[in-house]
Chains A and B, each alone.
Chain A
Amino acid sequence: MARVLTKSEIDQLYDFVAVKDIPYYDVQSEIVDHLASLMEDRWAKGSQLNLEQMFLEVYKEFGEPEWREMWVSKQKATWIQLWLEAKDLVMRFFRLPLLLWLMLAILVVQQIVEKLPEQLSILIYTPLVVQVGLLVVIWMIYFRRLSANRYLSSDACIHIFALEFWVAFWFLRLLYYSMGKVDWNVWLFATAYVLIVLLSIVIPTMLRIVGVRRSIARHRSFMKIS
């Protein structure tokens, strides 16, 4: 039976690749698999070299520039991939169903609030308090994920966006009413609202990009096989 590298020998190859400053775990895995396949192939063809001799032989063929070339190309491809994904994510915010639902929901709530009797005005504040609370909880969960080198799914980004959108709406609405509905304020609030909506998109998108990049670069268990 042909010789197959053991788990500890594979770990030695990983250590060697890590020493070579290759920052991406999936590139490390690819190099390790390539070197190991090459070594095992030669043993299968009858080579009598021991592990160390065989490694030196295949490593010499692989060559130093090839290592660098591999992870530099990965770095470029990762950035292209992330920006394409970010573009796709941003476009998802502007798709009709989501925007339509948000606007419809805002309109419905707006109408209900307008028709509420004075003594029930507390109901206007309740959604804001609940939503800010929810946002804090969600942020805490996501920051924990990020600090554990995990990344946000694009659906999570959309949820954060929707919640931030709501909170911004309620916050600005309350501010607007508390300032006594001065005409010029309409433009000021409209601008502030657009800026907040844009920020709501930028924050989760950037978090996803940073998270994915960190995951690819550092975290082995990111690609652990189930």
Chain B
Amino acid sequence: MANNKLYKGSLSTIILKLLEENGKMYGYEITQKVKELTAGELVITEGALYPALHKLEGDGFLTVEYALVNNRQRKYYTLTSAGKEEKAAKMDELRQFVEQMQFLLNPKSTFNG
């Protein structure tokens, strides 16, 4: 997808937000949830998702637990308290970015309200 490049910088924010809303999730579930929410417009590749998850886990924003599902181990990710704070900060950052982009791309509508 051409617009995937725009989403890439926000991948960790998307992951943190999804985990906050859904409690615990595993990698494949995250890719499917994103696909479902964006009606297939955004496809997160494994090569982007797992490094982002590992980084968030390494930074202490996610904690993991394992469960035996359908004859295999499944790794579930959950937000830590530091992760919740990080999510709030990232969301603020993203909101500001969107506002600034709106202002830059469509200044008249912003002035007119």
A and B held together in a complex = yes
> Nearest A residue to B60 by beta-carbon distance?
A84
- A33-B46 in contact given A38-B28, A81-B57, A225-B67 (Cβ < 8 Å): no
Of A63-71, A95-103, A198-206, the one contacting chain B is A63-71
A24 CB, nearest partner CB in chain B, Å: 10
Does any Cβ of B come within 8 Å of A106's Cβ? no
Of A1-9, A146-154, A180-188, the one contacting chain B is A1-9
Interface contact B71-A80, CB-CB below 8 Å: no
Does any Cβ of B come within 8 Å of A36's Cβ? yes
Residues of chain B within 8 A (CB-CB) of A62 are 46
Task: State in angstroms the CA–CA spacing of A78 and B67 once bound together.
Answer: 21
Main secondary structure of the interface of B (DSSP, over half): mixed
Instruction: Name the one of A40, A72, A73, A225 contacting B73, with C-beta atoms under 8 angstroms.
Output: A225
> Nearest A residue to B29 by beta-carbon distance?
A37
Residues of chain B within 8 A (CB-CB) of A34 are 27-28, 46
Does any Cβ of A come within 8 Å of B33's Cβ? no
Interface contact A81-B72, CB-CB below 8 Å: no
Task: State in angstroms the CA–CA spacing of A65 and B47 once bound together.
Answer: 7
B-contact 0/1 string along A20-49, CB 8 Å cutoff: 000000110110111011101100000000
A-B pairs with beta carbons under 8 A, tally:
83
Main secondary structure of the interface of A (DSSP, over half): helix
Of B6-14, B48-56, B91-99, the one contacting chain A is B48-56
Interface contact A70-B72, CB-CB below 8 Å: no
Interface contact B60-A33, CB-CB below 8 Å: no
B-contact 0/1 string along A69-98, CB 8 Å cutoff: 110111011101100100000000000000
Residues of chain B within 8 A (CB-CB) of A81 are 57-58, 60
- Among B28, B54, B55, B66, residue most surrounded by chain A Cβ atoms (within 10 Å): B54
Instruction: Name the one of B58, B69, B70, B74 contacting A76, with C-beta atoms under 8 angstroms.
Output: B58
Task: State in angstroms the CA–CA spacing of A29 and B71 once bound together.
Answer: 11
Q: Which residues of B contact A (CB under 8 A)?
A: 26-28, 32, 45-47, 50-51, 54-55, 57-60, 64, 66-75
Listed A/B pairs (11) with beta-carbon separation below 8 Å: A5-B72, A9-B71, A33-B26, A33-B28, A65-B47, A70-B51, A70-B54, A73-B50, A73-B55, A77-B54, A81-B58
What 14 additional pairs, Cβ within 8 angstroms, besides A4-B71, A72-B51? A5-B70, A10-B71, A29-B66, A30-B27, A34-B28, A34-B46, A38-B28, A41-B32, A69-B50, A77-B54, A77-B57, A77-B59, A80-B59, A223-B73
